[in-house]
Chain A
Amino acid sequence: MSESGARPSEEPVIPPTIVVDAIETDEETPPPAPAVAAPTTAAPTTAGPDLERPGPLALLAAGFVDVFARPRVLLLLVVLSAFAALPPALVVADSADLHLAPLADAPSGPELLRGPIPGRLFQAWEQADPDVRRRAGLTLAPLWLAASWLGLLVCAGWMATARARALRQRGGHGLADFLAGGGRFFFPFLRTWLLGLPLFALATWLVWGRPGAWLMRLLLPPEGDPAFAAGETAARWVENGREIVALLLVFGVEILLDLARAGLVAGGRRSALLALFRGLGVFLFEPLRVLVLVGAGLTFELLLLAVLSALTDAELLPLWSLVLLLPFCRQLCRGARWAGLLRLCLIGRPAAASR
């Protein structure tokens, strides 16, 4: 573990606590130290870490700063989001051009976007081109997988960028470095992605497979306890609860995978399997911090979306502006969450962080 040229101005923001990582076998060979300045860590201290560790909201805020500090990256992602979504839009627009644009007695564009739309219009359109909505949807199928993988690259990029900023490394802040960071961790992330698939399958099976069906049979008619769920209210709660549990499980797996990835970047490691266990460890040891960080990030994102929705409803924003504003807000919030998680994982890992 090298201690090279620590300068007061380059003190890491992470607290100077050393946690001995017992499993170091998955660490990659440390990359060569940057020519200008090497990453540094402070000397170990015995100071109580809890007193100095930033809270989850501070980590999230730092994440936002990390993302805001990379406007070119953000711009790239916004443009990419907009372009990736074009195929279905073009299919729909093409069909509308053929079947909606020539109609004489239909509402014009602005009325279509804002006002009540006569259902007969869509009915006529659907009759003339019955397949358009399905066709447009199907163009998303390959894009869905590509987006999922691209998400890995972006996640790795934000985490690598946040790591560099957290460690106050020089260089490594540009668009190319974002992509390089993303590229460096893409394959380890892809391995976590692959490991995530059985976890998603497990979550799905638990809720929608035999265990879930068994529970539903216990609770709901016809086989279930009629005294419990004879009414619609109880049945709705059970059904809604099932959906919510399913979503929470999926969120749980996502958080676990994100923590694993943050651990990979924070520690400069390569083993996806061990990273998953480490992520689980972090989650189990600090569930509140993780949940508050992620939850606050999501809440903030939803708030932003609600504001955008209200502004467009009030016609203070043109609808077309959402094409750019929505990806901007969402990429910003997602990037901040990832950066915040990375910082969370960096805490107490100066040794790994130094690499």
Chain B
Amino acid sequence: MPTRRWPAARLAARVLLGLSGLAALPAQVPGEGFHLPDRLPAQSLRNANYRIHAELADDGATIEGRLVADWRNPTEEPAGELLWHVYNNAWAGPESFFLRRQALLGGSGRPRSWGGTEIRSVRLLGEDGEPDRELSLAWRPPEEAPGDRTVLATPLPAPVPGGGRVRVEVVFRAVLPPAFRRSGTDGAGGYVHAAQWFPKLGVFEERDGRTAWTCPPYQPLTEFYSDYGVYEVELVLPARYRGRVAATGSVLAEEDGPGPDRFTLRLRAEDVHDFAWTADPDFLVVEQEFDPAEWADPAEEQRVAAALGRPVEAIRPRPTRILLFLQPEHEELGPRYLEAACRALRDFQLWFGPYPYETLSIVDPAHAARATGGMEYPRLITGGARLGGHPRSLSPESVTVHEFGHQYWYGLCGNNEFDHAWLDEGLNSWSQARVLARGWKPSLATYRLLGRERAGAAPVEFPAFPAHDPRALLLLDRWDSPDLRFLPPLGLDLRHPTGLERWLAELPPLSFWPEVVQDPFLRRRRALARDWSDPLLRPTRELIDREMMRTNAYDRPVLVLETLARLIGDTRMTRVMRAFAEEYRFRHPRPEDFFAVVRRYGAGAEYGGGRLDLDGFLRQAFVENRSLDFGIRRLEALPAADGPAAEGSPRWDVVLELRRYGDFVLPVEYRLIWEDGESEDGVWDGRDPWLRLRWTASARRPRAAILDPNDRLLLDRSEENDTRRLEPDRSRTLAAGLRAWIWAEQVLHHAGGRG
């Protein structure tokens, strides 16, 4: 079997080398004199600019378009060709790389009908803007999917030198599929979400020592990557969409025609790397100004200003116009969408710099096109919520904050999502958790009954067996005939489990845990239960499966970043994130850029009785795929053998054994709590596999021991072994057993009446 060398090995090596020099860096200690230099750029490089004229047909799915791309080579090397994303072709047929890779990863599903983009012509434009010559087209499919048409190459007659410009006209026809994976329509001529709808240039950049196009085929594990520029877009739409169009740009003009029952919308967006738009005749449009004064949080402003060494006035958020495009039946959710957007606008601007655009459009997708929800595009995000949600399930708040956060991590800091999704999804999920933790009560575990969410969590999993498992008959779920070989197998579904029936069987108000609170950070620890097959730095597109992608792109970076924040402290973390956001605004940051900023502004923190080894932390967390797991192996109080055992005052030899189960080496704090309530803190450097601590002839017995009592090490794989009581609290045993007992009684009573 052929083996592939991990292409990012060089990157990892470079990161390792970079990190090894960390110790030599001077430590920066937070103090009065600190001032974070302002490196906020006024605008992007604007090297990929587009003028697009597009007409949406009456079917609400077909777009006839003509675009002129004005591209400037940002490198010093010549570019002999142009590479284009034509990602709408991922839905052109089953041969696309996206669908093939999806099948390989065990996924299924395809659009209800095919879409796709047909490139009619690509012409080089002369200085006068007139077509100069026709360019040839060459699709660049990966070996795995020769039929893929998501990357198009157009060789140029003469290379574009470094800093040189080229203007190209592309005439295309795009058919958007019924909503599938982030883009599409409702299939009924109503809602249309045009994402990746026009051919867009890749990124010509220096990478691993050579300059080339980064323009990989579209695939399910990753998203997008492109250059910043100015978009001037002219949309001609059927009249039914008038006043109901959300878009990346600001509306410059809206005119009737051309032709009857159509209108033209002129839009402009600056310093963005994509352009999406959504229209729906049913949209209920709500407009609200984000007023920083109304949402002011003076304490947080003071804290951030002090951390950055800037005046409060310099970090205050700016006003922004929020345009909410709601489905009419979700009208009641409008205030919740808006509150979430306002809180996110306030916190992100405070922490990561001003939001530079005048509008933010939030789209609530149509029910028949829910697959387009929960996505981010510059200045336009799609949310998504279902009716009947529990107020504490934080829907739509959570998704709104998350997608807004992408305006910063993806939008303003435009990293390569194909390789390092953790740089946008991870940083964003961490930021999202911070906003949620400040703005709302933690969410609750819920279940659904007749489309309505209710709070509660079952103490026991309702029994179920997979299809064709004969044990299903025990539950009167299904009967399958034995394999008789000469007869085709027969099967009968005797019961179809529904939420309603489950409710009647379980009686959740009586048998469920009523209020299980989900902390926005700690809930990410669910990822610790998974197998971490790949280090965080492994390119996202090469991860073993979707599960690993979810871990490495979302949950794991949150744990790493929050652990880092708790180790270096909020002040340093505020500087790190602000500096990274400002320095790499309108640029394409890479992991080593992030590490450099962390090293610059995070170093010098005290932890575990000494200076934190930031270099070691970053290396182990990002590069080496190490597992952090400290635990208490033993806590005992033995009668002292030779202590002065006076009458009525026994003495104890107390033994506390700490163990490092993982290979992640880091100092860890511990706390011993005595029976009289007093506690004793200490630090273990964590280098040896274990540490035994002894208190001889102690007059007191310990009540408990806690590792990492300040909850800094969110990366610790097992929280369960981090604490230990000398005497177990059996009341918890009884409580858990009692819940399960009541639950089982109800389920069995239900079974007793069945059949």
Contacts and interface: CB of A to CB of B under 8 A. Distances in A.
Partners in one complex: yes
Interface in A70-127: 81-82, 84-93, 95-97, 99-110, 112-113, 115-120, 122-127
Given A124-B718, A226-B368, A247-B500, A117 B510 contact: no
Interface of A: 81-82, 84-93, 95-97, 99-110, 112-113, 115-120, 122-128, 130, 133-134, 136-138, 140-145, 147-148, 150-152, 154, 193, 196-198, 200-201, 204-205, 207-209, 221-222, 226-227, 230-233, 235-236, 239-240, 243-244, 246-247, 250, 254, 257, 305-306, 308-309, 312, 319-320, 322-323, 326-327, 330-331, 334
Contact of A101 (B187, B460, B529, B730): B730
Contacts of A205: 492-493
Given A104-B673, A112-B736, A147-B751, A323 B741 contact: yes
Contact of B755 (A117, A148, A246): A148
Given A141-B474, A204-B494, A309-B509, A254 B732 contact: no
Given A123-B523, A196-B755, A221-B187, A136 B732 contact: no
B636 to A, nearest CB: 12
B461 A232 contact: no
Contacts of A207: 496
Contacts of B460: 88, 92, 133, 136-137, 140
Contact of A144 (B704, B734, B738, B748): B748
B445 interface: yes
Interface stretch (B31-39, B62-70, B719-727): B719-727
Contact of B500 (A126, A243, A319): A243
B749 A93 contact: no
B255 interface: no
B495 interface: yes
22 contacts: A81-B749, A86-B744, A89-B741, A93-B740, A104-B705, A105-B706, A106-B723, A106-B729, A117-B516, A124-B719, A136-B461, A140-B744, A141-B475, A201-B493, A204-B493, A226-B188, A232-B386, A305-B507, A308-B510, A323-B741, A326-B510, A330-B749
A48 to B, nearest CB: 35
Contact of B510 (A82, A134, A305): A305
A108 B729 contact: yes
Given A101-B730, A106-B732, A109-B731, A119 B522 contact: yes
Contact of B517 (A85, A90, A118, A308): A118
A193 to B, nearest CB: 5
Interface string B349-380: 00000000000000000111000000000000
B108 interface: no
B457 A148 contact: no
Nearest to A106: B732
A125 B740 contact: no
Interface residues of B, number: 100
B736 A100 contact: yes
B459 A133 contact: yes
A116 B729 contact: no
B748 A240 contact: no
B582 to A, nearest CB: 34
B733 A151 contact: no
Given A89-B741, A140-B744, A326-B510, A97 B728 contact: yes
Given A222-B187, A230-B368, 7 more contacts: A88-B740, A102-B728, A112-B735, A140-B460, A140-B751, A147-B752, A221-B187
B445 A119 contact: yes
Contacts of B730: 97, 101, 109
Contacts of A151: 751-755
Closest 8 A/B residue pairs (Cβ): A109-B731, A93-B737, A226-B188, A104-B704, A101-B728, A89-B741, A151-B752, A104-B723
B329 interface: yes
Contacts of B525: 120, 123, 127
A254 B704 CA distance: 54
Contacts of B442: 119
A176 B487 CA distance: 48
Interface of B: 112, 178, 186-188, 190, 327-330, 366-368, 386-388, 442, 445, 450-451, 457-465, 471, 473-476, 479, 492-496, 498-501, 504, 507, 509-510, 513, 515-519, 522-523, 525-526, 528-529, 673, 703-706, 717-721, 723-725, 728-749, 751-755
Contact of B519 (A106, A118, A133, A327): A118
Contact of A232 (B327, B479, B498): B327
Contacts of A103: 720, 723-725, 729, 732
Contacts of A126: 529
B274 to A, nearest CB: 27
Secondary structure call for the B interface: mixed
A51 B367 CA distance: 56
Nearest to A114: B514
Given A110-B735, A140-B748, A247 B498 contact: yes
Contacts of B719: 120, 123-124, 127
A126 B445 CA distance: 15
A209 B509 contact: no
A231 B302 CA distance: 46
B567 to A, nearest CB: 19
Given A81-B749, A226-B186, A90 B178 contact: no
A264 B44 CA distance: 85
A216 to B, nearest CB: 13
Given A123-B525, A154-B752, A204-B494, A309 B510 contact: yes
Contacts of A154: 752
Nearest to B517: A116
A308 B746 CA distance: 14
Contacts of B507: 305
Contacts of A235: 367
B740 A200 contact: no
A200 to B, nearest CB: 5
A121 to B, nearest CB: 9
B277 to A, nearest CB: 20
Most chain A beta-carbon neighbours within 10 Å: one of B445, B721, B735, B755: B755
A354 B24 CA distance: 102
Contacts of B724: 102-104
A152 B124 CA distance: 83
A122 B516 contact: yes
B725 A148 contact: no
Contacts of B451: 236, 239-240
A85 B745 contact: yes
Nearest to A257: B755
Contacts of A201: 479, 492-494
Given A140-B463, A148-B755, A232-B367, A113 B739 contact: yes
A101 B732 contact: yes
B461 A134 contact: yes
Contacts of A226: 186-188, 190, 368
Contacts of A117: 513, 515-517
Nearest to A93: B737
B510 to A, nearest CB: 5
Given A109-B729, A247-B501, A326-B742, A123 B522 contact: yes
A236 B465 CA distance: 27
A269 B635 CA distance: 69
A91 B461 CA distance: 12
Given A113-B739, A123-B525, A148-B754, A81 B732 contact: no
Most chain A beta-carbon neighbours within 10 Å: one of B112, B327, B752: B752
A92 B741 CA distance: 9
A144 B476 contact: yes
Most chain B beta-carbon neighbours within 10 Å: one of A119, A235, A244: A119
Contacts of A209: 493
A322 B507 CA distance: 12
Contacts of B523: 119-120, 123
B529 A334 contact: no
Given A101-B730, A128-B720, A200-B476, A113 B461 contact: no
